[in-house]
């Protein structure tokens, strides 16, 4: 069975995905997930920033297994193509039987935003009402949609992007405002969703009790947050191992991961209530498996 992106979109909802991702993060931190580190190969298709990469992400959890192959080609933006593309294969753990192969681009988009939404529920400052976004691409839009599901108190969205036209378009589409970088960074909750190789968010712009959701610029040599933003915060990761290996925000700043989000969601660790918090995610195969299983189950139910 091959499931297209349109078919994924027809059945996968944030209302179902966010709680499923929440449980997957708890299971991961409890040691219930067999997930090796992703293998990444450079494509060698171009020089510098346009050099793409190809990654393989296997995982075993619950009654299923999965493997995602994902590519990131920054130069695709100039060709009118998605920069991220992916395929997910879902298999039975009991027999190894392939259950479905599905397009993984939308799954990657939605599970990333769902992880942030689950983290928001555990980490957001009391009374948070403003949402600042650095970036205007796929993840910026996805996070607005996902966070609206879990954040009824969101009253204001501020968007900054290097591309002012894109920022204004997203603002028009979502009822937000296109603002300066400093104003976006001054919101109660701040999302960084860029591919920047150097910091776009400076700690001096952040509020004392703000929550930063850092989801972009995956790679040990890339970073979105400066040293002040990282070292002045309580740092939470989706996975210590993954973030300490793949997140330049952590590697290059020397910041320490104080807790995994799954530990906090399970009540085995706590985040401070009156301190700046940075939640760093780089994406994990268990999140792709969780979304793919929901898609497969929904498709199975409609076939009966």
> How many domains does the chain contain in total?
2
- Determine, yes or no, domain membership for 33: yes
- Determine, yes or no, domain membership for 116: no
Which residue range forms the structural domain that includes residue 254?
125-283
- Rounded CA gap, 235 and 228, in Å? 12
Q: State the pLDDT at residue 304.
A: 60
Q: State the pLDDT at residue 273.
A: 86
Q: Mean pLDDT over residues 151-165, rounded?
A: 96
Q: State the pLDDT at residue 1.
A: 81
Q: State the pLDDT at residue 214.
A: 97
Is the pLDDT confidence value at 26 over 90? Answer: yes
The token pair at 226 is 């400066």
140 shares its domain with 160: yes
- Determine, yes or no, domain membership for 120: no
84 shares its domain with 188: no
pLDDT, tens digit, for every residue of 272-291? 988 999 999 999 999 999 99
Q: Are 234 and 278 in contact (CB under 8 A)?
A: yes
Q: What is the CATH number of the domain that holds 201?
A: 3.40.50.720
187 shares its domain with 259: yes
Instruction: Give the closest residue to 268 by CA, choosing from 17, 21, 27.
Output: 27
Backbone phi, psi, residue 271, to 5°: -100, 150
270 shares its domain with 293: no
Q: State the pLDDT at residue 222.
A: 85
- Determine, yes or no, domain membership for 290: yes
- Determine, yes or no, domain membership for 41: yes
- Written in H, E and C, the secondary structure of the chain is CEECHHHHHHHCCHHHHHHHHHHHHHHHHCCCCECCCCEEEECCCCCHHHCCEEEEEEEEECCEEEEEEEEECHHHHHHCCCCEEEEEEEEECCCCCEEEEEECHHHHHHHHHHHHHHHHHHHCCCCCCEEEEECCCHHHHHHHHHHHHHCCCCCEEEEECCCHHHHHHHHHHHCCEECCHHHHHCCCEEEECCCCCCCCECHHHCCCCCEEEECCCCECCCCCECHHHHHCCEEEECCHHHHHHHEHHHHCCCCCEEEEHHHHHCCCCCCCCCCCEEEECCCCHHHHHHHHHHHHHHHHHHHC
Q: Are 128 and 153 in contact (CB under 8 A)?
A: yes
Is the pLDDT confidence value at 13 over 70? Answer: yes
299 shares its domain with 152: no
Query: For the CA atoms of 160, 161, 164, 170, what is the dihedral angle to 10 degrees?
Result: -70
What confidence category does residue 18 fall into, taking pLDDT thresholds of 50, 70 and 90? very high
Is the pLDDT confidence value at 205 over 90? Answer: yes
Is the pLDDT confidence value at 302 over 80? Answer: no
- Determine, yes or no, domain membership for 92: yes
- Determine, yes or no, domain membership for 146: yes
172 shares its domain with 266: yes
pLDDT, tens digit, for every residue of 93-139? 999 999 999 999 999 999 999 999 999 999 999 999 999 999 999 99
- Determine, yes or no, domain membership for 207: yes
What confidence category does residue 51 fall into, taking pLDDT thresholds of 50, 70 and 90? confident
Is the pLDDT confidence value at 144 over 70? Answer: yes
154 shares its domain with 213: yes
Cβ-in-10-Å burial (0-12, 13-18, 19+) of 243 comes to buried
Is the pLDDT confidence value at 146 over 90? Answer: yes
Is the pLDDT confidence value at 157 over 80? Answer: yes
% of the chain at pLDDT higher than 70: 100
150 shares its domain with 270: yes
Q: Are 179 and 160 in contact (CB under 8 A)?
A: yes
Average pLDDT, the chain: 95
Is the pLDDT confidence value at 220 over 90? Answer: no
What confidence category does residue 301 fall into, taking pLDDT thresholds of 50, 70 and 90? confident
Q: What is the CATH number of the domain that holds 62?
A: 3.30.1780.10
User: What count of other Cβ atoms lies within 10 Å of the Cβ of residue 145?
Assistant: 14
54 shares its domain with 153: no
pLDDT, tens digit, for every residue of 133-142? 999 999 999 9
Cβ-in-10-Å burial (0-12, 13-18, 19+) of 266 comes to middle
Q: State the pLDDT at residue 268.
A: 97
Q: State the pLDDT at residue 193.
A: 96
Distances (CA, A) of 135 to 17, 59, 171: 23, 30, 11
51 shares its domain with 87: yes
Is the pLDDT confidence value at 242 over 80? Answer: yes
Query: For the CA atoms of 207, 209, 210, 211, what is the dihedral angle to 10 degrees?
Result: 160
What confidence category does residue 74 fall into, taking pLDDT thresholds of 50, 70 and 90? confident
85 shares its domain with 169: no
Is the pLDDT confidence value at 29 over 90? Answer: yes
Query: For the CA atoms of 53, 56, 61, 65, what is the dihedral angle to 10 degrees?
Result: 130
% of the chain at pLDDT higher than 90: 86
291 shares its domain with 248: no
Q: Mean pLDDT over residues 238-261, rounded?
A: 95
C-alpha torsion sign, points 266, 267, 270, 273: positive
């Amino acid at each position: 069975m091959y499931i297209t992106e349109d078919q994924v979109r027809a059945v996968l909802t944030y209302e179902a995905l966010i709680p499923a991702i929440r449980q997957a993060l708890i299971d991961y931190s409890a040691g219930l997930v067999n997930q090796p580190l992703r293998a990444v190969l450079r494509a060698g298709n171009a020089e510098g920033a346009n050099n793409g990469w190809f990654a393989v992400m296997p995982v075993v959890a619950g009654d299923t297994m999965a493997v995602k192959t994902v590519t990131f080609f920054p130069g695709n933006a100039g060709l009118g193509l998605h920069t991220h593309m992916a395929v997910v294969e879902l298999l039975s753990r009991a027999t190894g039987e392939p259950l479905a192969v599905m397009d993984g681009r939308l799954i990657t988009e939605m599970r990333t935003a769902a992880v942030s939404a689950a983290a928001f529920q555990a980490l957001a400052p009391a009374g948070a009402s403003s949402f600042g976004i650095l970036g205007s691409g796929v993840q910026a839009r996805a996070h607005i949609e996902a966070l609206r599901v879990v954040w009824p108190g969101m009253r204001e969205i501020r968007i900054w992007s290097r591309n002012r036209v894109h920022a204004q378009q997203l603002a028009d589409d979502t009822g937000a405002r296109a603002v300066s970088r400093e104003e976006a960074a001054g919101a109660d909750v701040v999302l960084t969703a860029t591919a920047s190789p150097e910091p776009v968010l400076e700690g001096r712009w952040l509020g004392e009790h703000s929550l930063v959701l850092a989801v972009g610029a995956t790679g040990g040599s890339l970073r979105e947050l400066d040293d002040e933003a990282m070292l002045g915060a309580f740092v939470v990761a989706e996975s210590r191992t993954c973030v300490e290996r793949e997140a330049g925000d952590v590697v290059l700043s020397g910041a320490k991961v104080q807790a995994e989000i799954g530990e906090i969601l399970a009540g085995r660790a706590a985040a401070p209530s009156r301190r700046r918090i940075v939640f760093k995610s780089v994406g994990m195969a268990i999140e792709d498996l969780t979304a793919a299983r929901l898609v497969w189950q929904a498709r199975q139910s409609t076939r009966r």
